[in-house]
Chain A
Amino acid sequence: MSLTSYLPIAVLLVIALGMAAALTLLARLLGPSRPTAEKLLPYESGLDPERTPQLRFGVQFYRVALLFLVFDIEAAFFYPWAVLYRELSCSGEVFQGVCQGQSTPFGLLLMLVFLAVLVLALAYVWRKKALEWD
């Protein structure tokens, strides 16, 4: 896994950026530019906006974001576990997905412990009705 294998992604990002810039420029050249005061107002279904929007969002959004963060971190650990699961559940070598030695419950147990705590967290959130929107 060398660094150069990521080059196509970088190249593609540059191409995408270039195309975005080129198309916007093209649209600017081709399209008319006749701004009027009305056009430049924020769109509020026909009414003139009285003030700039100062919306404050409920704290539920914060809770959801934190829960998301926690589960994202959890998923980050799930991936290596899923890839290595057979190796972790086997006392010997794993050859083409088949365990050559004794089967052990290690792989399952270590994730059960990890998951049990998180299920507890999810249950707590439900119990406290913290995900209800009103």
Chain B
Amino acid sequence: MSSALMSSALMSSALMSSAMWSNPVQWAFWLLGGLALLGALGTVTRRSPVQAALFLVLTLVATGGLFLVLHASFLAAMQVLVYAGAVMVLFLFVVMSVSHTEGETLGLAQGTVGKLIGLAAVGVLGHQLLRVCLTVGDGTSVGAALPGGFGDVRSLGRWIFSRYLLPFEAISVLLLVAIVAAVAITRRPPRGRAEGEG
């Protein structure tokens, strides 16, 4: 839910700006931020896991739109391609491979422990939100004086392949670990013990 947090942080920082409704960028920002929050709310309140997942898509796509507002066009496309596309497929396939009977909920936030974890998460996120709001400025100067080609694929690539070269190469190792782990935890038990599998 970090995207929802981010959008709400950005929203509240924009709240402080006086020239709020003066330009279309602000309009786009409020619309997208609102949609992102709406999606996040739907994600945590829907009982059907698939409906919740689809609200999450709304949040992810709206966050992609927020990237556009911030002049990061390539990131926006990647946000939609990777998160709303690939990550959602993963989520939905996980939902499909666990059992789901009618009326059953995901049951993650039930019980005292669950509530405590939820409360702690809210505390941490709230603290972060406040911190960002207090440090980020009023947001009116965004887009005022950006270098040419800011946020497009070339300038982004120049950063990735120079200053962030090591993290970039390390990502491939991270992806390798993810694949190995996925294969390991989903390995089917040796034959004979695999009863009751459908």
Contact = CB atoms under 8 A, between A and B. Distances in A.
Interface of A: 1, 3-4, 6, 52, 54-70, 72-74, 76-77, 79-81, 83-84, 87-88, 107, 110, 113-115, 117-118, 120-121, 124-125, 128, 130
B182 A66 contact: yes
Contacts of B25: 3
A62 B97 contact: yes
Contact of B169 (A69, A76, A113, A125): A113
B169 A72 contact: no
Interface residues of B, number: 51
Given A4-B24, A61-B97, A83-B153, A77 B171 contact: yes
A117 B170 CA distance: 10
In the A-B complex, the 9 residue pairs with the closest CB atoms: A80-B157, A117-B172, A72-B86, A69-B86, A65-B90, A121-B179, A59-B186, A65-B93, A66-B182
Given A73-B82, A84-B157, A113-B169, A62 B186 contact: yes
A118 B157 CA distance: 20
A1 B99 contact: no
A100 B175 CA distance: 36
B97 A81 contact: no
Given A69-B86, A69-B90, A121-B175, A80 B156 contact: yes
Interface string B63-87: 0000011010110001001100111
Nearest to A114: B172
Nearest to B71: A1
12 contacts: A63-B182, A65-B93, A74-B175, A80-B156, A83-B153, A84-B161, A110-B165, A114-B172, A115-B172, A117-B173, A121-B176, A121-B180
Given A76-B81, A84-B158, A124-B183, A65 B89 contact: yes
A4 B188 CA distance: 52
B97 A69 contact: no
